[in-house]
Amino acid sequence: MVKKIALEEHFLSPGLVDYWRPTMTEVAPQRGEYFFRNLTDFGELRLQSMDGAGIARSVLSIAGPGVQAERDAATATRRARESNDFLAREIEKRPDRYSGFAHLAMQDAKSAADELERCIRDLKFCGAMINGHTHGQYLDDAALYPFWERADALGAPIYIHPTDPVAQPSVLSGYKVLMRPMWGWGFETGSHALRLIVSGHFDRFPRSRLMLGHLGETLPFLLWRFDSRARFHGLKLKKPPSEYIRENVTVTTSGMCSAEPLNCTIAALGRERVMFGADHPFESAQEAGEFLDHAPLVDNLRADIAFNNAARYLGLAS
């Protein structure tokens, strides 16, 4: 069993439960209490799950949507800060096993930037996770440039996590099973990342460090086509889209326990841009761990994906 750092390890803080329950009631009502019990545990349940998967350290992040569902910006800002303080206290109890991603109220770009800086500098978090758009405002919006300026200055990785689209696409109408984890969330999140690319975000903020789960939300499989169609449409960027993906984006294996897409992603992005993720408790950490332990990879590559890449990229110790 190879030693691992796990990303997309989710938790809930007391003040954010009410934002989470409506989504979970719709997505998996029969498993809501199981998820709640695991999301709010920082002791035996979580540590047993980690040990069974060979996870030495978990980078904890809020189970969405969090404060991004809040309409009032001041309330969202306050509750995000409270959640980050809660997580910092839990990390203090087990600094050998836990690290954290900041939770941010993107309703106010300056407040989000200030909270990101506080979390990086004072709480020693290693980046932030943002749950997609905030009431229809995507991360390429010019109003959020002050946030990205601060994130760049801090060298902070920003992980985009799936959320529901503003409106469900008509093509999914009548097929609820397709709307969220099976297909809709990946399409939404991959499209969000592409908005950043084609908007010129990485020309404005070349140091931006973007993270995506689920082996890149299908983007690594379409690099040639992105470049081909960018040329066709005369897209004015300093580089082809594929270069921004290779240079500014890293991905995790969360929710993807299959050798074929893993091998494709490694070939497309490079071995240093793929990291282990478990998506606990919505996926089985043990299944994710066993998959990586036995995937057809040479041992030094397995160790890089399991541990070394995240340790380097996020500045984490053993």
Q: Which residue has the tokens 């990586």?
A: 292
* Beta strand segments in 134-291, E: 157-160, 209-212, 249-252, 274-275, 277-280
Nearest to 100 by CA among 116, 114, 113: 116
Nearest to 126 by CA among 97, 155, 149: 155
Q: How far is CA 88 from the centre of its chain?
A: 19
Residue of 140, 164, 279, 304 with catalytic role: 279
**Helix (H) and strand (E) counts for the chain?**
16, 9
Could you give the 3-state DSSP secondary structure of residue 107?
coil
Omega before 65 within 30 of 0, i.e. cis: yes
Give yes or no: 279 in active site. Answer: yes
What are the backbone angles phi and psi of residue 10, rounded to the nearest 5°? -95, 155
Return the active site residues.
279
